[in-house]
């Protein structure tokens, strides 16, 4: 409708995608293919076609990957996530080589969501050498989501390497705690041991915090050790972990923190743990 408000058209396009309206595919395809269309409308049309996921839309979305509009290329990568097949996996993987960092981030995120194990080598390369930290972070996170033995082994190396920025090591340990705690516990314990005399170390604090939210019977000795830390935060993480895992064998040690001489936050964590362990 040529008389319809142009300000509302982008929202209409997005809504058609949310509705997965196959009837809208021809019109949305025209918008995406027309290089004279409003840039926002083309991007949203690409997004909508991806959500509708009509196989007939795949060629036009693929063509958008070569657009001079860098943001449209990013939308095209995200749209491809809704289509099955190894060919699509390959197209998304190629997005990791795009000159625009946002496209590379979108490609990494999509590969992680799809758990594309064939992309592990290039994701590892991007995690190591991409010039943009946000791309490195997206690649490390994707490797964790893929959760393949090869990707887990790489994440263990990232986490254990002191020369790697903490911004990547924190993402690596997130994945290891979530997906491979039993297999990675040795590396995590080695790290804690090496940093134990640095209670104010941000990465140590982060690792202990993540562990406190995990449930695993093998964590009992670690949480017991946390109680002896000079860091109030780490003491709280120990108490929280003991509570979350219902380690009743540590009840007597937890009770020692329930006294008026303790920090208020530590005491509150102890009281909460005691109420669970009794």
Structure confidence at residue 1 (pLDDT): 82
Can you say how many angstroms the Cα of residue 6 is from the centroid of all Cα atoms in its chain? 36
Structure confidence at residue 192 (pLDDT): 96
Helix (H, G, I), strand (E, B) or coil at 212: helix
Structure confidence at residue 2 (pLDDT): 79
Confidence of residue 278 (pLDDT cuts 50, 70, 90): confident
CA distance 266 to 278: 18
Q: Say yes or no to pLDDT of 199 above 80.
A: no
CA atoms in the 13 A half-sphere facing the CB of 156: 19
Query: For 35, which DSSP code?
Result: T
CA distance 132 to 136: 7
In this prediction, residues 34-51 reach a mean pLDDT of: 96
39-52 and 70-80 helices cross at what angle (nearest 10)?
10
Q: How far is CA 140 from CA 151, 164, 167, 274, in A?
A: 9, 12, 10, 38
pLDDT single digits (tens) 70-110: 999 999 999 999 999 999 999 999 999 999 999 999 999 99
pLDDT single digits (tens) 124-171: 999 999 999 999 999 999 999 999 999 999 999 999 999 999 999 999
Which helix (H) or strand (E) segment holds residue 169: the answer is helix 166-179
């Amino acid at each position: 409708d040529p008389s319809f408000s142009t300000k509302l058209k982008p929202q209409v396009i997005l809504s058609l995608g949310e509705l997965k309206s196959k009837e809208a595919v021809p019109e949305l395809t025209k918008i995406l293919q027309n290089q004279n269309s409003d840039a926002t409308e083309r991007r949203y049309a690409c997004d909508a076609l991806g959500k509708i996921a009509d196989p007939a839309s795949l060629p036009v979305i693929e063509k958008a990957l070569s657009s001079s509009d860098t943001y449209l290329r990013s939308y095209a990568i995200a749209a491809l996530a809704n289509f099955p097949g190894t060919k699509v996996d390959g197209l998304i993987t190629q997005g990791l080589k795009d000159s625009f960092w946002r496209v590379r981030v979108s490609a990494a995120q999509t590969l992680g969501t799809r758990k594309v194990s064939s992309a592990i080598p290039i994701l590892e390369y991007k995690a190591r050498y991409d010039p943009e930290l946000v791309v490195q972070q997206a690649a490390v996170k994707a490797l964790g989501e893929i959760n393949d033995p090869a990707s887990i082994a790489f994440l263990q190396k990232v986490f254990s390497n002191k020369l790697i920025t903490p911004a990547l090591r924190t993402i690596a340990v997130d994945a290891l705690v979530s997906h491979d705690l039993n297999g990675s516990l040795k590396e995590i314990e080695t790290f804690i041991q090496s940093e134990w005399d640095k209670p104010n170390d941000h990465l140590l604090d982060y690792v202990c915090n993540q562990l406190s939210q995990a449930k695993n019977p093998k964590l009992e000795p670690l949480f017991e050790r946390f109680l002896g830390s000079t860091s109030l935060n780490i003491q709280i993480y120990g108490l929280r972990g003991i509570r979350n895992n219902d380690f009743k064998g540590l009840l007597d040690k937890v009770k020692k923190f329930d006294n008026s001489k303790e920090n208020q936050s530590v005491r509150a964590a102890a009281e909460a743990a005691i109420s669970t362990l009794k």
